[in-house]
Structure 1
Amino acid sequence: MKDNNKFVIIISGPTASGKTAFADKLALKFNGEIINADMGQFYTSFNIGTAKPDWKNGAVKNHLFDILDEPKDFSVVEYKNLVLAKIKEIFNKNKTPILVGGSLFYLKSLYFLPIEFQNKKDNLNLINQDNKIYSWDLLNQIDPERATKIHKNDTYRINRALDIWYNFGIKPSQAEPVFNPEFNSLFIYLNMNKNILHERINTRTKLMFNSGWVQEVEPYINTEWEEFFKKKGFIGYYEIAQWIKNGKQENMLPELINNIVCQTRQYAKRQETFWKSFKLLLQNSNNKRFICKILEINDLEKINLESIKL
């Protein structure tokens, strides 16, 4: 799907930076439709804790929310195929596709071809429920740069990284992606002042609890979803599940909330770190039609939308 005359807008940034509100404004300005790029918001079960917008009732048409209703992985290849189809569909309506979300790993797949490595059978048993931490430690010995970017419970990416090493003798962090975008794009990343971002995270986390986050998690206690919370690292869900199972002790609630706030801040920092390396890849890739624009945003109300051009 090569289209040299039309542009896709991509909006990303750390969690709680105001991507959704900003995207809605841009969609109205550019006659756009929004495509979700937040992993947690793919799942029908995750609403409050993922800050999922009211995507069905807004003024702007939205796509790729609530597309998974069971606890299963959703690969970047699957995501890329769906997104490219949606982009084509939106272009055919003479509208502007606007991708919005903080899952930069998925967004990266739209620019760089995934490196396909085939598993060798004698390496497939490195990862199982009993040796997750051992396997992460093994990866950390081989390639600490890659290990620090993978959660210890993320068996899929640990396994993939180890497989690259054992099959090809290449450190996963050194595997070079191939730049191959299929559309022109304007990439907007919301860099927010750290203190302001932390305050927004504090406020949003408390609002999530007041809006019924605990009640959202309760139906999934002792189901396969509970292990999925932990496996995927969806912030807050597994921790709330454990708090519920331990009797909902009110005196432990402030500690739970603080723990989730701290995890969210750490996640925001990881997003920013990922963006820095991703941005360098984009800037160093040879494509004259690609535009990479970074906006420093501290107050969405003061953004001059007229200054944003395709």
Structure 2
Amino acid sequence: MKPSSSCNLLTILGPTASGKTRLAVSLARELSGEIISADSRQVFRRMDIGTGKDLHEYGAVPYHLIDVLEPGQECSVFTFQRLFLQAFQEISARSQLPVLCGGTGLYLDAALRGYRMVEVPENPRLRTELANKSDTELAAILLHLVPDQHNRTDLADRNRTIRAIEIASYQPDEQEEQEPFPAIQPLVLGIRWDRAELRRRITQRLRQRLEAGMLDEIQQLHTGGVAWERLDYYGLEYRYGGLFLRGELNRNDLFQKLNAAIHDFAKRQETWFRRMERNGVTIHWLDGAGDPVAGARKVISGYFA
């Protein structure tokens, strides 16, 4: 099957542990596709087990936006959008189909909603005003500016909170010219599971990651120069794994607390997907417990020939 004029971007989304990568790879093979990751952590090198890269699943399918930054760096939504648009245009120029795959809501929005983000410069005056604020006061300011705060890590780190306030407060120059957003015509497929089954899958995958050496990976990152506080920023696995390695959690508490936190994260992802639908993104939902590949083929039959 080849791309048609009615769709130039296939998107596969779903909560953590839903099987997005496997579905995306299967469809990319059939549709002459190349995968673009929409995962806020898989952009970092040497963060493989904790982020669930599962690179063995790709086989010969090309992928993009994985292993493009060093641990310790930051990947803003602006950075992601710039990298996504570059990959989208390069793949399209090769007459291949871009297949966006991931579960990071902000990144998916940045790719699908058609707005060109602006790189926000630092605001020295604002930073001076915020310097004497307490962490609680900074969090209150950010939540006032962005009541529906999806990225909770912006509230857990003082520097990130200040940067988030800076971005939320930014007023671009009206004369500042924006590059037009490419004409993207997406077909969005989502994988949905019964809540109890998704919880089982999340728990099983966490056990597998721990057995595969996730804690060793976290220790190696820290030994290689990534501060514990910085690892906290890279997500739940690295935050709780770091607490364990510092002796602040025992092994049982590590598993129980991390498992519960990932379940809560999956709920927030599903809430974000519902908000995307309210904002006009049509998501064709597939039953993860059935045959999502066959279900996807039925949906895309009207878009590809």
Q: What stretches of structure 1 of length at least 5 have no aligned partner?
A: 169-178, 284-291
Structure 2 match to 1:277:
275
CA contact (8 A) 1:55 1:62 kept: no
Q: CA RMSD in A?
A: 3.0
CA shift for structure 1 position 126: 5.8
Of 295, 298, 303, the residue aligned with 1:307 is 298
Structure 1 match to 2:174:
none
Paired amino acid for 2:266: A
Structure 2 match to 1:47:
48
Distance 1:48 1:153 in 2: 23
Distance 1:30 1:298 in 2: 21
CA shift for structure 1 position 281: 1.7
Structure 2 match to 1:68:
69
CA contact (8 A) 2:42 2:67 kept: yes
Structure 1 match to 2:231:
229
CA shift for structure 1 position 40: 0.9
> Bigger CA drift: 41-50 or 185-194?
185-194
Structure 1 match to 2:138:
135
Structure 1 match to 2:152:
150
CA contact (8 A) 2:27 2:293 kept: no
Structure 1 match to 2:251:
253
CA shift for structure 1 position 114: 2.8
CA shift for structure 1 position 12: 1.2
Give the 3-state SS of the residue equivalent to 2:10 in structure 1: strand
What TM-score do the two structures reach when normalised by structure 2? 0.81
CA shift for structure 1 position 308: 2.6
Paired amino acid for 1:162: I
Structure 2 match to 1:7:
8
CA shift for structure 1 position 83: 1.6
CA contact (8 A) 1:133 1:153 kept: no
2:30 pairs with 1:29: yes
2:205 pairs with 1:204: yes
Paired amino acid for 2:53: K
Q: What stretches of structure 2 of length at least 5 have no aligned partner?
A: 172-179
What TM-score do the two structures reach when normalised by structure 1? 0.80
Structure 1 match to 2:177:
none
How many residue pairs get matched? Answer: 285
Structure 2 match to 1:267:
265
Structure 2 match to 1:293:
283
2:96 pairs with 1:105: no
Distance 1:75 1:239 in 2: 23
Distance 1:70 1:164 in 2: 23
